[in-house]
């Protein structure tokens, strides 16, 4: 997502499967570290990854988030290196992310406020696993976390459909890598044809052979 899209998301104040919104948090707190790692793992394990935005406040009994902005005392902790270290403490393999602090002076409702925006890439080859438990945040060693489709929340995979979706995504990546290696090695990749097209081609070849 580019800067303009992030601005629109914060202004709208609604989460999606690929967008998680949280209040300002102090990254020196152990529970916050676990919470951030959990959200990052969940976003990394879905197609196209997603964005975690810090500095919003959820309205009571509502799905909307108001743009409160980050507490100034919390901002200093959110460097790229520190976030990477926090996440790698809980996640394996490494979940690739990019962190930035944004402000939007041209939008009245956002003026004077700062937000931490953490862009999380879809996992590279295999799904991200949790390697360290944290009971308070519901993290379990060996667990796989995703952003749910039913409710926009991060939780451990717990259905066949969710596991199948994850495995399908991993299979696509493996196949794509195999094709890339085949091309680099000078191999030829033939276009896929349907069974009907294959039968037609075989019939035409046999007919041509019969006529000649």
CATH code of residue 139: 3.30.950.30
* Domain co-membership, 56 together with 83: yes
Together in a domain, 117 and 35: yes
In a domain, 74, yes or no: yes
Task: Let me know whether 82 and 141 are in one domain.
Answer: yes
CA diameter of the chain: 86
Residue 183: give the domain boundaries.
172-211
Domain-embedded: residue 163: no
Helix/strand/coil for 51: strand
* pLDDT, tens only, 15-24: 999 999 999 9
The confidence score (pLDDT) of residue 150 equals 83
Q: Mean of the pLDDT values across residues 153-177?
A: 91
Is residue 116 domain-resident? yes
pTM, 2 dp: 0.83
Task: Round to whole Å and give the CA distance between 145 and 121.
Answer: 15
How confident is the model at residue 193, as a pLDDT? 52
Reported confidence tier of residue 10, pLDDT bands at 50, 70, 90: very high
Helix, strand, coil share of the chain (percent; to 5) = 40, 20, 40
Query: Given this model, what pLDDT does residue 93 score?
Result: 95
Instruction: Indicate whether 167 belongs to any domain.
Output: no
Same domain? 33 vs 81: yes
| CB-based contact 6:51 (threshold 8 Å) | yes
**Residue 64 falls within a domain, yes or no?**
yes
Chain Cα centroid distance, residue 137: 19
Residues 28 and 97 in one domain: yes
One domain, residues 81 and 116: yes
Q: What is the mean pLDDT of the chain?
A: 90
- Same domain, yes or no: 29 and 106: yes
Q: Are residues 15 and 81 in the same domain?
A: yes
Phi, then psi, of 26 in degrees rounded to 5:
-90, 110
Report pLDDT digits (tens) over 26-57. Answer: 999 999 999 999 999 999 999 999 999 999 99
Residue 48 lies in a domain: yes
In which region does residue 59 sit, left (phi positive, over 0), alpha (psi from -120 to 50) or beta (all else)?
Answer: beta
Q: Are residues 153 and 91 in the same domain?
A: yes
State whether 129 and 198 are in the same domain. Answer: no
Is the predicted pLDDT of residue 25 greater than 90, yes or no?
Answer: yes
- Domain check: are 59 and 100 in the same one? yes
pLDDT tens digits for 137-146? Answer: 999 999 999 9
Q: Are residues 176 and 86 in the same domain?
A: no
Does residue 122 lie in a domain region?
A: yes
Q: Is residue 164 part of a domain?
A: no
Torsion angles phi and psi, residue 35, rounded to 5: -65, -45
**Cα–Cα distances in angstroms (integers) from residue 54 to residues 42, 113, 140, 194, in the given order:** 16, 11, 24, 48
Between the alpha carbon of residue 165 and those of residues 30, 154, 178, 179, the distances in Å are 31, 15, 20, 21
- Between CA 202 and CA 205 the distance in angstroms is 5
What is the C-alpha separation between 67 and 23, in angstroms, rounded? 9
**Total number of domains constituting the chain:** 2
């Amino acid at each position: 997502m580019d800067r303009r899209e992030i601005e629109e998301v914060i202004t709208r104040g609604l989460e999606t499967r690929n967008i998680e919104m949280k209040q300002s948090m102090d990254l020196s707190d152990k529970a916050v570290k676990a919470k951030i790692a959990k959200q990052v793992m969940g976003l990394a394990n879905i197609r196209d990854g997603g964005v975690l935005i810090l500095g919003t406040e959820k309205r009571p009994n509502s799905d909307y988030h108001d743009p409160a902005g980050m507490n100034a005392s919390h901002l200093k902790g959110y460097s790229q290196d520190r976030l990477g270290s926090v996440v790698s403490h809980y996640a394996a393999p490494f979940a690739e992310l990019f962190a930035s602090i944004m402000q939007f002076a041209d939008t009245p409702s956002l003026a004077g406020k700062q937000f931490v925006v953490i862009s999380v890439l879809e996992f590279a080859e295999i799904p991200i696993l949790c390697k360290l438990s944290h009971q308070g945040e519901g993290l379990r060693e060996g667990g796989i976390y995703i952003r749910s489709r039913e409710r926009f929340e991060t939780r451990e995979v717990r259905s066949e459909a969710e596991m199948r979706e994850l495995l399908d995504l991993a299979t696509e990546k493996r196949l794509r890598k195999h094709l890339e290696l085949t091309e680099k090695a000078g191999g030829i990749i033939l276009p896929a044809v349907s069974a009907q097209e294959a039968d037609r081609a075989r019939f035409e070849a046999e007919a041509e052979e019969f006529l000649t």
